[in-house]
Amino acid sequence: MNKKISCILFLFFLIIFSPVFGHAATLYWVGDDGANMNVASNWKISNPSSCGGGDSGSAPTNADTIIFDADCDNGATFNANITASTGSMIISSGYTGTITGNNSITYANPITLEDNMLINVVSSNTFILSGIINDNASSYSISKIGIGNLRLAGNNTFDGGVNIKAGSMAIYTSANAAGTGSITIGDTSGSESATLIGGVGVSIANNIIVPSGSSGTLTLGNGQTNQTPTFSGTINLSNNLVISTGSTTTGAKTVTVGSSIIGTGNLIINNDGAGALLISKNTGDGINMVGSITNSGAGIGSVNISGIVGSNITSIV
């Protein structure tokens, strides 16, 4: 076999089998609404004009760039881990589909928001986004629905805020996991409960908004033994808020709220654990929402309010 034929054969096998050797691809979502993202036929290798017609030879790998484009606005369900690598996810301008976490999985590559992102986490699953989420200072947000847990763990820079409409969202590892915008706990209608959870030693500086409209239980606190989060942004109430150390446990679970609590709504302090729940604000408005403060915890831990309690407080029980 001469050198020319050998070279041609080498190039042929390189092209055909390049996905096997980790060749990075750019893939566009074209699947049915809610379809499995781990299926090759749900992806197209060129920018689509509509849904359907997938022609990818393989499902996305951790080296691929995956794009959710307005030309196919269907939602996608994540059922498999994507570990950190050279790949990325892009939520393109105009895309309004729902990204669903259907198992307890991790997507670890960076995410670029060119529009708002809607995430649904079903059942008791935890969907972890550990790559950096950015929006190029364009004020795009992440909204969370479903009863499962969304865990943000990257050093994120998006500035449009986070809306926890249902279920729980956890801020773990990085104090910047929710970006630089406000965190909203609760929807503006319905009866879904919503919870913001802080992780080990994380100091969360985002302002927190509790909107009116939802009849569900809206909670700020932690979720596991030996968690010690601090919430240092202003908390603005238009609904009732529970500040909680979580369920009864023998471990120490300390929650510190070092911010002003203002607006209109009742504050329910619920320490069901063995750790401490500390509310301290010695400057600014202190605790001065129009509403009552109720200590309803059943644990052996302490509750300490060391900041200013303003004249708008109607009662302390």
Instruction: Give residue 244's pLDDT.
Output: 87
In 3D space, the residue among 245, 182, 246, 171 whose CA is nearest the CA of residue 210 turns out to be 182
C-alpha 274/C-alpha 19 separation (Å) is: 53
Question: What residues form DSSP beta bridges with 98?
Answer: 118
**Which one-letter amino acid corresponds to residue 192?**
E
Question: What residues form DSSP beta bridges with 145?
Answer: 120
Instruction: Give residue 247's pLDDT.
Output: 59
End-to-end alpha carbon distance in the chain: 91
| Domain locations in the chain as residue ranges | 71-85+93-316
Instruction: Give residue 299's pLDDT.
Output: 67
pLDDT (tens digit per residue) in 211-262:
999 999 999 987 655 678 889 999 999 999 999 886 545 555 678 888 899 9
In 3D space, the residue among 255, 243, 262 whose CA is nearest the CA of residue 313 turns out to be 262
Task: Identify the burial level of 247 via C-beta atoms within 10 angstroms of its C-beta, where 0-12 means exposed, 13-18 middle and 19 or more buried.
Answer: exposed
pLDDT < 70 stretches in the chain: 1-23, 223-226, 246-253, 274-275, 281-283, 299-300
* Radius of gyration over every alpha carbon of the chain, rounded to an integer in angstroms: 23
Instruction: Give residue 303's pLDDT.
Output: 83
C-alpha 227/C-alpha 235 separation (Å) is: 20
For residues 251 and 225, the answer to whether their CB atoms sit within 8 Å is yes
Instruction: Give residue 14's pLDDT.
Output: 43
